Structures are given as structure tokens and as C-alpha cells.
Amino acid sequence: MVSFAELTQMNLSPEILAELQKYATPTGVADYAALAIIAGVSAGYLSRGTLWDKPDPHYHLYFERPQLKNGGQAGLNSNKETRNIAKKLEDTGKNIVVFWGSQSGTAEGFANRLAREISIRWGQECMSADLSDYDPVTISEIPNSKLAIFIVSTYGEGDPADNTAEFWSWITKTGDVSLANLQYTAFGLGNSNYKFYNKVVDVIVEGLEKFGAKALMPLGKANDAEGATEEDFMAWKDSLFTVFKDKLGFTEVEAQYVPSLKVEEDESLEPIDLHHGEPNSQVDASKGAAQSSPIRSLSIVNSRELFTSSDRNCLHMDVDLSNQPELTYKTGDHLAIWPTNPDSEVERLLELLGLASRRDVPVFIRPVDAATKITLPTPTSAIALLRYYLEICAPVNRDNVRDLAQFAPTPEAKTYLTHLGQDKDFYAEFINRTHLTLDRLLQLACPGHTWTKIPLSYLVETLPHIRPRYYSISSSSVVSPRKPSITAIVSTTPLPENPSELVHGITSNYLLAISQQAHSQPHPHGVSYHLNGPSDALAGGKVFAHIRRSKFKLPITAKTPLIMVGAGTGLAPFRAFLSERCQVQKIGKEVGQMILFFGCRNPEEDFIYRDELQEMQETLGDKLRLVAAFSRYEDTPRQYVQDRVSEFGEEVVKLIDEGASFYICGRAGMAREVEKAVSGTMQKTKGWTEDEVNNWSKAVKKKNKWQEDVWG
């Protein structure tokens, strides 16, 4: 309310002031009553929280989650961790750090194993460290009394893992840093089927050397193309330990398991407090936030078999995003599926560990050491760990075979495991006869006994954690924006020396079980899964999944010619590309010339999407040429896509000269052979030297005119 005195200060005319005064001055009982009410309400409002409506000091208890007390996951992360690795080493009393850069989890697993073994066998204070958790520049502050070990993977076209990107950018772009105090050694994981084999570790070592870091031993490398990654790592590790003994003067001690974390039962917790198997989206959030969507439970609304073969399966699945408006995809992206371990493996392992009757008892996972990072959801339960969080179907490596001997229930089992873990040739021969999962190993080593001495903490520390499997999306976001599809071949591999024993790929057989259930049929090999998921979150044919952005994209201009080469399920993204080009042409826009090279065994069994491709051919007319290669068809000579690329070399070169974008999807070995075929044709057609071809290859890749989406 404005007083008359305040009105007189507004430079109003006398006439207006006189009129306003009539309304500004109370004239009756009603006006005074209104003023009293307004004054009372104002006073009451101003006294809120002091005279009335005082806050309840226990109000927060309504929202407090008991699992965050006494070591719960959020409680562990409540204090912000330092991003200075030198300070972290100093604060935790560590003198060795094993950095890891990992895309699929292998390098991470190696780093954790190495850090654990250094601590146990050599009595050294050691920690493993995610490269993305620390500011790269702080590596320069590590004193020469400490040691840094780098274990990093290379994937794709010489790309670093997501969690290596920040360090990679720093080591390749910084120019004003000294690493003269840094002692280091490094090990790289790669695949010689890729052109840029182990490029990441090579570049990192080059950068470290340039800034003055001192290598304790030669660089080590693993080659997955030869299936030797595990043995390559162990050979390098043995060389490292020789350096520990001979150069650093470390003393080896008797190796006994010393846990870096505790897994303790707590029956006071209720089921609502637990993580029952939902994927832990927080662990990798900082690394892949820009590349990946949130993890959600998504419905599979349509699944069908693409093969006509009775002994092989290939699935087409449509996934529904309708109830997840924040999830979107673009043509060429990937869909990540989070798998579940099969029931038989889970139940057998629970029995062998003596945990069957306590499978649902709540457990907390807590670090023993401040440097240990908990990467699994906690609190949880034994059944959730074995079903959803740990790779219990992965082969047991020799290190773990040897370590398991200390928990053996009989002297005979201890002797057997020690021999198997120490004898490289015996181990290699053994795994050719059986798929050496943990439960099978325990059964073979000591039939009829339970292994109650194995701590659950040991399994959490040593078994790989379940990771998502990535599938190229085989639909166009223009044609089917809310229902991306994937194309998944089901992996069922007979053992070389025992063909009757089948090794079932975890994720593809999980998807097959979902598909079979939708058609009211059992899995063809009797493999079963807990398809309803944790807390029935996946009931009705759902999967936990997320979308990962990809660089494997169509050109912006639809007029750009395309050359596409795919074998098997490598056809998936090209189905999406062609579907989108068909749609563009239907709305009256011009599309460029296209040629698709596709390879499979024979046209009668595994020529996937054949009818659809023929329809697209009719729609696009002479804008599309389909060229097939069959490797096992009747009595005809074997042909592979690279052979057909060479056969149509002149047309390929012509499209390249017209500005075509070149795409390859499939196995890395195939991609390498296709590139050789194109390079050979370019040399022959243009009369180029090998150097000229190499320069051309580098140029087109730099311009994203040559793209690959390859694996293995």
C-alpha cells in the first residue's frame, strides 16, 4: 500500500493527488479491518520458521537410504576424489601406479591383475588407475622414486579407448612439459588385422620419450589376431618382474591372496535397498557421456530368423524407443545390449562355492584400501553378482588358475591347479579340449567338493565385469526413428578337439532365448536365462540397452556416390543406408550412384535381407548395383568380397574419382583385404607407386571419405 506522503513525492498534479487521496486514506471500519488482516498475514509470514512451522530436525530420515551408510557406494564417493595422480600416490602411500585405457575391458582387467600381483608377490604398494580419472598434466609431478605403468588398447582406425581420449589429446598436443622424473614401462593391446596395429601405445610411448621420461624396459605388445593376447601379456609381465628383481632390487615374497576390498553380508538391509542386477550406468558416465545415451529397459517388439539353415541362427530385432523420449539415434549408430549369464552356469557356480542357500543375502562391497575404486553397484547380493555383474563364462586365465590353488579343498586339487597354472603348454592343450569357465575348472579339479574357501571378494576382484555388446543399427532413423533394429548372428562354436561340446556366445544366445520365448519356443540348445531380469524389470521381452554414437555416417549430400562392402552381419548398417537413400528418392530428391558388395556362404542359407535388397534394387533402379560373393556354394570356386571388389575395380575407381564415400563393415581381416584390393586396383589403373597409394589412402581417411566399422 502506498501512503499519501509517498504519492506527493511522485511529481503528480494537484488534481490527481486530490483524487487519489480519496482512495489512499481509510474511511471506514471495513478499510481498517482489511489493513489489520494484511498486517497479520505479513507478520505471520515473516515469523515462519521461528514462531511456527519450525523445521523437523529428523525430516531427512524420510529420504535417507540405509545402503548409503557405512560404506555404501554413494558414501564412498561423497568426498570428491583428487584428480592429481601424484597427490593420490602420496596420500595413499603408493609407489607404483598401473594406468589403463580400455574399450572392451581387457586392458582394465590386465591392469587390475598386475597391480594386485605386484602388491602380493613383490610387497610393493601399487594401485591401478583409470586414465580418465586424473588430469594428464599431473603425471609430470610423479617423482622418480615411483613407477608408472601404462596398459592401453587400440581399436578401429588406430583410435584410443574412450577413457584414454583426454590423455591422448594431452600427450599428442602439449608442448611445454617435462617428464624427466618419470620412470615408466608400457604394454599395448592391438590386432594386426587392423592397419594401425597398436598405434595408441606407440604414440603414447613416443610422447613420453619426447618429454624425457625413462623407460625401464622395451615396449610390450599383444596381438589378438593370433589369439595370443593373454600369453603375450603374461610373457611381458614375466619380463617386468625380472626388471623388478635385477634392476630395482625388489624381493619376491610368497604369494598369498590379500583382498583389496571386502564383500560382507548385512542381513539388516531390505530388498528395496539393494542393486538386484540393473546395469551400473554411473561407472562409465564420465568417459562416454557424449557418445552414449542413458541405459534403459527397451522392448523388443519384433524378432525374426534370417537364416534358413537348421544349425545356425541370425536374428533381426526391432527395439521400441516409444516410452523413452530422451533416447534418439542416427543412421549408423550402435545399440549396446547388456547381457545376462545363463542359468546353468549361475546355479552350478553357486553350488560349487557353497552360496546356494545364501544367494539372496545382502552384501556390501567396501574398499580395504583408499586407492581401490569400487566399480560394481553396492549393496547387492551373490545371485546378482553372478548373474548380472561378473563374466563367469569367460575362460579362466593361467594366473587365476594358479591363484585358485591356495583355496583348493584337497591337496590333490592344489597340485593339479598349480601344475595347470604354471605349465604354459599343458594349459594350452587343456583349453583346446574344454571351455575353461570357472565352474568347469572347479568341478574338474576337485569333483564332488565345494570350494567354500574362495572368498566372494576374490571373484569380484579377479573375474571380468560384464560389459555391453555393441551391434550396428540396421535401420534408418529417417525411415524408422523410434524403432531401431539390430542384426545379430548367434555364436555357437564347437571346441576344436571336442566338436560335441559347444561354446555359446553370451549375448547372442541371450537374444536368441528372448526371441524364442516371444514365439513360445525353447532355446534350440536348451540354454536358459532369467529373462524377466532384476526385479522383473525386463518382463515381457525387454533388454537393458543404450545407444552409442558412431562416426560411421552417410554423407550430408544424398548425391554423393557410395561404395559399401560388408560380409555376414556386416550388411546391417548398409541396409540402413540403402533404406534411407530409397526414402530420399521417394520424396523426389536425387541420389548418387551406389554399389554394394556383400559376402556370405551361399544364397540359399545365409543371404540375409535378400528380398529387401531386391525391393531396394527395384526402387533405386540403375542407381544401385548389388554384387554378391559366396564362399561355400555348391561346386563353384570360393569367392570373397575382396575378390569381387578387384573384379569390379574399374567401376570402383570411377566412383572414387567422382567423389564416392567408401564404407566397410565386418571383420578386420576382411577390411584389410578389401583395402589391399582397392590399393592394387588404384596402382594398376592410375600407374601409381606404393607411396602414392599410401598418401591417397591417408588423405581419403582424413576427409572421412573412407570409413570402417569393423571388429576382431
Q: What grid cell was written down for 582?
A: 530409397
pLDDT of 382 higher than 60 = yes
Q: What is the pLDDT of residue 515?
A: 97
The domain made up of 562-711 has a fold known as Rossmann fold (3.40.50)
In this predicted model, what pLDDT tens digit does every residue of 555-614 receive, in sequence order?
999 999 999 999 999 999 999 999 999 999 999 999 999 999 999 999 999 999 999 999
68-81 residues labelled b (16+ CB within 10 A) or e (exposed): beebbbeebeeeee
* Mean of all residue pLDDT scores within the chain: 89
Burial class (CB in 10 A: 0-12, 13-18, 19+), 40: exposed
In this predicted model, what pLDDT tens digit does every residue of 269-304 receive, in sequence order?
999 999 999 997 654 444 555 689 999 999 999 999
| Residue in the block written with cell 604414440 | 203
Give the C-alpha separation, 347 to 339, whole Å.
17
DSSP states along 325-373:
TT----TT-EEEEE----HHHHHHHHHHTT-GGGTTSEEEEEESSTTPP
- Strand partners for 629: 599
Collect contacts of 193-196 with beta carbons under 8 A, ≥24 apart: 193/225, 193/667, 193/668, 193/669, 193/671, 193/672, 193/712, 194/154, 194/155, 194/156, 194/157, 194/158, 194/668, 194/671, 194/672, 194/710, 195/157, 195/158, 195/672, 195/675, 196/154, 196/157, 196/158
The domain made up of 82-246 has a fold known as Rossmann fold (3.40.50)
- Element of type H or E holding 154: strand 147-155
Give the C-alpha separation, 142 to 124, whole Å.
17
pLDDT of 104 higher than 60 = yes
Q: How many alpha carbons fall within 13 Å on the CB side of residue 71?
A: 20
pLDDT of 445 higher than 50 = yes
In this predicted model, what pLDDT tens digit does every residue of 536-562 receive, in sequence order?
999 999 999 999 999 999 999 999 999
Q: What are phi and psi of 603, to 5 degrees?
A: -70, -15
Domain boundaries, the chain: 4-46, 82-246, 562-711
CA angle 12, 17, 18 (to 5 degrees): 155
Q: What grid cell was written down for 358?
A: 545364501
* In contact, 598 and 626? CB cutoff 8 Å: yes
pTM to 2 decimal places: 0.85
CA 315 centroid distance within chain: 22
Calculate mean pLDDT across residues 98-126.
93
Would the CATH topology of 82-246 be identical to that of 562-711? yes
| 105 confidence band (pLDDT: 50, 70, 90) | confident
411, 400, 393, 408: which is closest to 449 by C-alpha? Answer: 408
Angle between helices 690-702 and 668-686 (to 10 degrees): 120
Q: What are phi and psi of 61, to 5 degrees?
A: -65, -25
Q: What is the pLDDT of residue 317?
A: 98
- Strand partners for 9: none
Give the C-alpha separation, 533 to 541, whole Å.
10
User: How many other CB atoms sit within 10 Å of the CB of residue 318?
Assistant: 18
Give the C-alpha separation, 501 to 168, whole Å.
43
Give the C-alpha separation, 227 to 655, whole Å.
37
pLDDT of 10 higher than 60 = no
pLDDT of 24 higher than 60 = no
